[in-house]
Amino acid sequence: MVQLGANRYGKAEVRVMRVSRGAGPGGGDVIRDWNVSTSLSGDLAATHLTGDNSAVLATDTQKNTVYAFAQELGPVPPEVFGMELAAHFVGTQPQITRARVSVEEFGWAPIGEPGYSFARTGELTRGCRVVHDEGAGVSVVAGLEDLTVLNTSHSEFWGFPRDKYTTLEDTDDRMLATQVSVWWRYRGTGPRGTGAPDVDWDAAFGVAREALLFAFKETHSCSLQQTLYAIGEGIIAAAPGVCEVRLALPNKHHYLVDLTPFGLPNDNEVYYPGDRPYGLIEGTVLADDAPDPGPAWA
């Protein structure tokens, strides 16, 4: 005999561009360019077992709600959008006890003076994931993906164990590059209306991003793990309300090319970036007093 285990469903990748005309500095337009995914869970056994959909708010309806809320809420930060939308689903659908809303935000910069014309920036994707749980309250995780950073020096790797399969040489001067995926969790979760975090989300994102870049640059790295920890520590120190940071850092290897067959020196000048395989370093840094995450990362 079998039974239904954990489950959830929703609409993924609802693209929405919200233009607020003249609302920006200098009277320029403000645009919020999002990719929104919703996911609901609760008592959904009936649809799985018998196809009875009386508890299944259609994913098409979820999509419509994204658009409607984009209109009604105006150019809010994605975290606010996520909190409002998640609260709506849990608050209006009796059978839904948890809603997760993820938002990817794509950046745009004005072309010239602020106005109606924009070019997409592409150095990173901002994101947030809001979980509204009937019991555990609201949690907010924010972060970024796809930010690629590189140090041409100030990176070493040596002193690792050598077994029969080890051929890598120690090095005290290597290139270090990674494509950062980092997500940080805010304190202050709790039932909506009483404990929702009071954060300037756009500012906090900027602070965390700067802390990340600073830590990457300033850490003399003996391992990518050391850099990871320094980034986590830096974000917690700099961004008010952040209690936990999770990072996934691919080690984007840059291999020194052997030019000796051609009679040429290569004093750390010519590298070839490899695609695969790559090291992958994953880790968490927590404030000592970080509260339990509950379903924040679910």
Nearest approach, Cβ of 40 to a copy of itself (angstroms)?
11
Residues 103-122 binding a copy of itself (CB under 8 A) are 108, 111-112, 115-122
The reply on whether position 259 binds a copy of itself by CB under 8 A is: yes
Helix (H) or strand (E) holding 265: none
Tokens 């924040």, located at residue: 296
Please confirm, yes or no, whether 59 is among the known catalytic residues. Answer: yes
CA 163 to chain centre: 37
Pair 171, 155: CB distance under 8 Å: no
Helix (H) or strand (E) holding 226: helix 224-238
Please confirm, yes or no, whether 252 is among the known catalytic residues. Answer: no
The active-site residue out of 11, 63, 132, 252 is 11
The reply on whether position 282 binds a copy of itself by CB under 8 A is: yes
Closer to a copy of itself by Cβ: residue 51 or 194: 51
The active-site residue out of 59, 97, 125, 284 is 59
Question: What is the rounded distance in angstroms from the CA atom of residue 169 to the CA atom of residue 160?
Answer: 10
- CA-to-CA separations, 93 to 22, 67, 168, in angstroms, rounded: 36, 18, 57
Strand partners, 100: 39, 131
DSSP code, position 276: S
Pair 284, 296: CB distance under 8 Å: no
The reply on whether position 64 binds a copy of itself by CB under 8 A is: yes
Amino acid 100 reads R
The active-site residue out of 63, 132, 252, 253 is 253
Nearest approach, Cβ of 162 to a copy of itself (angstroms)?
8
Please confirm, yes or no, whether 48 is among the known catalytic residues. Answer: no
In this chain, which stretch among 126-134, 186-194, 198-206, 268-276 interacts with a copy of itself, using CB under 8 A? 268-276
Residues 211-240 binding a copy of itself (CB under 8 A) are 213-214, 216-217, 221-226, 228-229, 232-233, 236-237
* Among 80, 83, 142, 147, contact with a copy of itself (rule: CB under 8 A): 147
The separation between the first and the last C-alpha atoms of the chain, rounded to the nearest angstrom, is 27
Nearest approach, Cβ of 194 to a copy of itself (angstroms)?
26
The reply on whether position 146 binds a copy of itself by CB under 8 A is: yes
The residues that are catalytic are: 11, 59, 253
